């Protein structure tokens, strides 16, 4: 008898779309990952969470997939719905979102702004995710004529440039990116209404946003700079922006998983979460450390912290919830998570 959980290979895609004001639209995009055009549910797929940010006009949809090993017949069920689920959601987003009318304080370049694919554990290899990301980029540009993409991380072979570097090269951080100056890796010259999409694969990246009780953007940028990995004394794997948010300033952090184990200095406080991919150890800065560091830096200026939000989950949470949602066959898990006791 085949096992429904043994040998399960889990993958997550934190799909970033440039819309949050119309929540029904974002849910339509999420459902496109779960059901085909005839309304038939795709097996082995669940949407764990939808994070909407009104000021940013940006949503993050956490889509999880599984490859299952069948013990009885000793073969791997081909997970053809994996790329199809992501592509269907992206296709729907491109139909419904027009970058020519988009307004939001968060930088973005595409209706589908980012398609990162992450392995959730040892069972999924680096190249599995890289191949999937490249296939999604190619499939999107073929399926939706006029879309274009750049590659990052493991998908960017052989350079494997990180997302921050690729965004900088593409002009993502500019207030008004010049689409005519961009040379995408896949697809034609970028143009509105689709813009440009980043597609890649890497160890899990957590989004942790800390709001400080001020409207002083200079202070926010100073705190962001102090946290950034590239700053001496900064936090490993942390990329940071300071953005105006709901009448305050948000310190928006991408928390990359870094290879190796945390140093003894790092583990002196709260232990850093650890996991492995293809036999390599990884760890990431805990959200509590980011919050305490922001509170310390802001406190020096007499400013307090209003709160911390994760746009999704930690890697461990994401895997645990994915296993539960898939084993219990709850595709629209984001609707149910408030009542489920884990």
Higher pLDDT, 33 or 123: 33
Contact 92, 51 (CB under 8 A): no
Please report the DSSP string for 220-285 in residue order: HHHHHHHHSTTSTT--TTEEEEEEEETTEEEEEEEEE-EESPPPTTGGGSSPPPEEEETTEEEE--
| 82 band by pLDDT with thresholds 50, 70 and 90 | low
Domain covering 205-310, topology: Alpha-Beta Plaits (3.30.70)
Q: Is the pLDDT of residue 81 over 80?
A: no
Q: Is the pLDDT of residue 4 over 70?
A: no
Give the model confidence (pLDDT) of 184-199 as tens digits.
999 999 999 999 999 9
Average pLDDT on 307-324 reads 93
9-202+314-336 is classed CATH 3.40.50.720: no
Q: Phi and psi at residue 115, in whole multiples of 5°? A: -130, 85
| Structure confidence at residue 125 (pLDDT) | 86
Q: Is the pLDDT of residue 76 over 60?
A: no
Percent of the chain scoring above 90 in pLDDT: 80
Q: Is the pLDDT of residue 66 over 50?
A: yes
Q: Is the pLDDT of residue 154 over 50?
A: yes
Average pLDDT on 31-59 reads 96
Give the model confidence (pLDDT) of 120-141 as tens digits.
988 888 898 999 999 999 999 9
Q: Which residues are CB-contacts of 264 (< 8 A; sequence separation ≥ 6)?
A: none
CA of 85: how far to CAs of 50, 132, 295, 319, in Å?
16, 12, 40, 18
Task: Classify residue 117 as exposed, middle or buried by CB count within 10 Å of its CB (0-12, 13-18, 19+).
Answer: buried
Give the model confidence (pLDDT) of 228-261 as tens digits.
999 999 999 999 999 999 999 999 999 999 999 8
Q: Is the pLDDT of residue 270 over 90?
A: no
- Start and end residues for every CATH 3.30.70.670 domain found in the chain: 205-310
Please state which of the ranges 18-22, 54-58, 77-81, 95-99 shows the lowest mean pLDDT. Answer: 77-81
Contact 139, 87 (CB under 8 A): yes
- Start and end residues for every CATH 3.30.990.10 domain found in the chain: 9-202+314-336
Q: Is the pLDDT of residue 338 over 90?
A: no
């Amino acid at each position: 008898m085949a096992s429904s959980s043994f040998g399960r290979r889990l993958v997550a895609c934190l799909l970033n779309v440039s819309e949050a004001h119309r929540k029904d639209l974002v849910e339509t995009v999420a459902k496109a990952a779960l059901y085909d055009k005839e309304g038939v549910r795709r097996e082995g797929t669940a949407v764990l969470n939808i994070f909407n940010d009104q000021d940013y006009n940006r949503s993050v949809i956490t889509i999880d997939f599984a490859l299952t090993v069948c013990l009885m017949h000793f073969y791997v069920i081909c997970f053809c719905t994996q790329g199809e689920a992501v592509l269907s959601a992206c296709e729907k987003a491109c139909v419904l979102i027009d970058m020519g009318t988009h307004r939001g304080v968060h930088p973005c370049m595409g209706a589908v702004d980012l398609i990162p694919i992450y392995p959730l554990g040892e069972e999924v290899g680096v190249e599995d995710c890289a191949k999937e990301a490249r296939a999604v980029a190619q499939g999107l540009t073929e399926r939706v004529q006029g879309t274009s993409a750049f590659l990052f991380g493991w998908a960017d072979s052989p350079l494997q440039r990180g997302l921050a570097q690729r965004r900088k090269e593409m002009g993502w951080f500019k207030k008004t990116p010049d689409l005519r100056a961009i040379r995408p890796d896949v697809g034609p010259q970028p143009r509105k209404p689709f813009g440009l999409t980043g597609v890649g694969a890497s160890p899990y990246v957590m989004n942790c946003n800390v709001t400080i009780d001020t409207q002083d953007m200079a202070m926010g940028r100073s705190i962001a700079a102090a946290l950034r990995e590239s700053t001496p004394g900064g936090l490993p794997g942390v990329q940071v922006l300071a953005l105006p948010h709901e009448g305050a300033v948000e310190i928006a952090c991408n928390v990359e998983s870094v290879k190796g184990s945390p140093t003894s200095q790092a583990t002196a406080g709260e232990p850093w979460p650890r996991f492995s991919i293809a036999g390599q150890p990884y760890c990431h800065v805990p959200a509590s450390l980011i919050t305490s560091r922001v509170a310390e830096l802001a406190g020096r200026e007499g400013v307090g912290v209003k709160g911390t939000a994760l746009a999704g989950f930690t890697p461990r949470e994401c895997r645990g919830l994915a296993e539960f949602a898939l084993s219990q066959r709850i595709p629209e898990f984001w609707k149910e998570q408030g009542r489920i006791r884990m």
